[in-house]
Structure 1
Amino acid sequence: MTTPRTQRAETTTGLHVRGGIDENWDRWVGRAPVTLRHRWISLAEGRIPGGLRTFGLPGPDGDRVALIGGVMEAPTGHVRFDPQRVLSGGSVGEGVVAEGPHPWHGLSADALFPSCLLMGPNYESAPTGPGARDPQVLKEYVRALLDWCRAQGIRSVSALFLRPDHPEFLDALRAEGFDVVPMVDRCDMDVTWDDLDGYIAGLRRNRRFAVRRELREIAEHGVEISERPIGDDEPELVALRAQIVTKYGGVPDAEREAGSFRHLRDHFGPENVWVVEARKDGALLSFTMLVRDGDQWTALMSGTDYEHPDASFTYFATMFYRPAELAPGQGITTIAYGLGTVQAKRVRGCTVSTLLAAGLVLDGSH
């Protein structure tokens, strides 16, 4: 078992590296995606291999630009969070860098580790700070990062889940020799309508007919769709989560699921965590959990009773149709749907963007 590197503040050739994130992080990150704000990072920082660090380029009033990540002593084998597996083609079967290229294919762990990984823990990464869009600042940042890594004896540098709407950062990486490749698709729904009819009108013709038919069948079966804040105890949600975990080959863990619900409620506040649910005669058929941050909802968890004969289409109603109906009145401008099931999300109004992965093997390491 390897010993993690000490989480202390380190400054080398212009880069300031420290463990964790500053309490005033949100004051200067600007209009960064909500998942790159403090409470989202702290929600899932355990996903960062080697412990969360901030890699910042100092300026007179704090970091000019910063990203979060960690230093890995060895590969973890994680399908999405291990840069060696991702960039070598080891996750193609799971749809990660599915089309290639795979710049680290054939490279050994000894050639790549220790490795510096830049990664947001919530499946999207981007530079933050006042210089996040400044090409010159970003070039200086990448050079300072590489100097720091070389001074630490690090053999490779990578970045996962990079947002494509930061071309200045992607250009700065390419200029220093990084291979930048398509990684995975993510889905977001921009709310541009005023009501449910407006949402449906924006879909393709065949899909409009299908959605209206699904909603009609749900109503004809006596299923009611409603929403509420998350409660103190959610045994029904836990039971449906067990079904979905089993469906996709996992082992249900009721205690873990219940703990996740409590953690979300306590972390964001119950007023910001909504459960959209489908019920018939009081029985829960399906649910989707929405977490609010500003004018964005993020769909985080869902579940369906696959054994109930009237559960057909209720997943789509709780995941897409009811949130789309509610969003305008709640001041929501975007609903984030994340990774996976891209086609189902696309045909129901989501915009698809391709997140990127970048990697560089440092000179003399292989």
Structure 2
Amino acid sequence: MTTTETTQVVRADGLDAAGPYWDGLPHNLFSSANWLRTGEVLGGTPARYSVVQREGLPSSAQVTWRSSGEMWVYNDPVALLRLGAAELEGHIEENAAAEVAELAAVVEQAAQELYPARISVLPSGYRPGLVVGSAHDVPLLFDDLEKDGDPTTAVMHVGEEDDRTVALLRERGYVGMAAAGDSVLEIDPAWGGLQDYAAVERRRGKRVRQEVDAFRASGATIREVDVAALGARHAELHSAHLRRYGHEATEDSSRRLISAIQQWPAGQPLALEIVRNGTVDGFLVAYEWGGELFASMLGISPDTPYGYFNLIYYEPIRRAVEVGLSRIHFGPGTYQAKRQRGCTVRPLTSYVRVPERWEATVARLASLLDTAYRREMGAVGG
């Protein structure tokens, strides 16, 4: 006698509705319930949770959002294409930059035909919205992603080691561009402290000593605090830091993020502060999950000498070595500085599928941008 396995995809809008299906899935930090709860609160709209059930039990799932252009640019493929080479100065050749500008202008004009977009992504984590317990579920999740007929569908920030997912997306007509990378430092279990990390490479050792000594000479120190201690000063530092990098940010939005982190802590939070002359001059919130540390929320005054490098790199490395963690994820951006400090940059490719009439334009634009972003990461020559 044979039996046929019962398989279905259950949809739920918002984590409250998805809760009964969410437990028991093989979560990472960014798909954990508290992390997603924070993302929904800050995003102002619930995500869609699609759960593959086999014989009534959750097997795999996908988190998706519907965007009409209001999402964070690195989580919205249409917005990324419209952005063109605006953040790639020095990493794109002149001829390519001119072609990118022309193609991005075409996409800008076509935006009304490309939105709304249904996007598979985990908030604030640079990860696809996939929570995979069985590889056999992935085609079902992609079917669900495309089911409603949105003009654009996308799966963001796929790691290059995920060969099966990449192959499935390409078979379905998706094109990719690696607009972000995860900067990862592998912690050698033989290291006994920061001095061993610094000694791996001569220039690194000189740099670490110089930056740690200058930081200490300024009178600054770093201390660990409870996330409950984060408040108005931290919101001020966070929003100012984002604005220095050209992002729209307000102290109110930073306060809401801090409040959400305090209400729904994910993983094992680590909060560090720089204190100088009795004033908090910087802070970092990172999360431990599965023996790894993930740097997340940051706010820092530019006035403390080498405060950034001591807070972001050296203190987390010191603590990771002490407790025996295997790696630290420093996330995207400032790739050269991260490579200089021992990180490997892992490109994360976002895959997008658009209406047929725009396929050639998007494919060419994505290819040009992919090359430039990879050059920025150091993943290609130039």
Same fold by TM (over 0.5)? yes
Distance verdict in 2 for CA 1:332–1:343, change over 3 Å: same
In the alignment, which of 283, 292, 295 is matched to residue 296 of structure 1?
292
Indicate if the aligned counterparts of 2:38 and 2:257 stay in contact, CA closer than 8 A: no
Shift, 1:268, TM fit:
1.1
Aligned partners of 2:73 and 2:32: how far apart in 1? 25
**In structure 1, what is the equivalent of residue 208 of structure 2?**
211
Aligned partners of 1:362 and 1:342: how far apart in 2? 34
SS in 1 for 2:209: helix
In the alignment, which of 164, 168, 178 is matched to residue 168 of structure 1?
164
Aligned partners of 2:194 and 2:248: how far apart in 1? 37
Task: Judge which range, 122-131 or 311-320, deviates more.
Answer: 122-131
**In structure 1, what is the equivalent of residue 376 of structure 2?**
none
**In structure 1, what is the equivalent of residue 123 of structure 2?**
121
Distance verdict in 2 for CA 1:200–1:358, change over 3 Å: same
Matched letter for residue 127 of structure 1: L
Identify the structure with the greater helix proportion. Answer: 2
- Residue 84 (structure 1) aligned with residue 82 (structure 2): no
Task: For 1:22-33, list aligned pairs within 5 A.
Answer: 22-24=18-20, 27-30=23-26, 32-33=27-28
SS in 1 for 2:83: coil
Q: CA RMSD in A?
A: 3.4
Aligned partners of 1:248 and 1:64: how far apart in 2? 40
Aligned partners of 1:327 and 1:349: how far apart in 2? 15
Shift, 1:240, TM fit:
3.1
**In structure 2, what is the equivalent of residue 197 of structure 1?**
195
**In structure 1, what is the equivalent of residue 3 of structure 2?**
none
Give the count of matched residue pairs.
337
Matched letter for residue 196 of structure 1: L
Higher relative contact order (CA 8 A, sep 6+): 2
Q: What is the CA deviation profile of residues 163-194 of structure 1, one whole-angstrom value per residue up to 9, with x for unaligned ones?
A: 33322111111111111222212223332233
Any gaps of 5 or more consecutive residues in structure 1? 1-12
Matched letter for residue 308 of structure 2: Y
In the alignment, which of 318, 322, 337 is matched to residue 344 of structure 1?
337
Aligned partners of 2:76 and 2:299: how far apart in 1? 28
Matched letter for residue 317 of structure 2: A
In the alignment, which of 44, 66, 72 is matched to residue 71 of structure 1?
66
TM-score by length of 2: 0.75
Indicate if the aligned counterparts of 1:15 and 1:57 stay in contact, CA closer than 8 A: yes
Any gaps of 5 or more consecutive residues in structure 2? 1-6, 360-382
SS in 1 for 2:225: strand
Shift, 1:252, TM fit:
6.4
Indicate if the aligned counterparts of 1:158 and 1:360 stay in contact, CA closer than 8 A: yes
- Residue 334 (structure 1) aligned with residue 331 (structure 2): no
Aligned partners of 2:276 and 2:240: how far apart in 1? 18
Distance verdict in 2 for CA 1:121–1:223, change over 3 Å: closer
Indicate if the aligned counterparts of 1:48 and 1:69 stay in contact, CA closer than 8 A: no
**In structure 1, what is the equivalent of residue 362 of structure 2?**
none
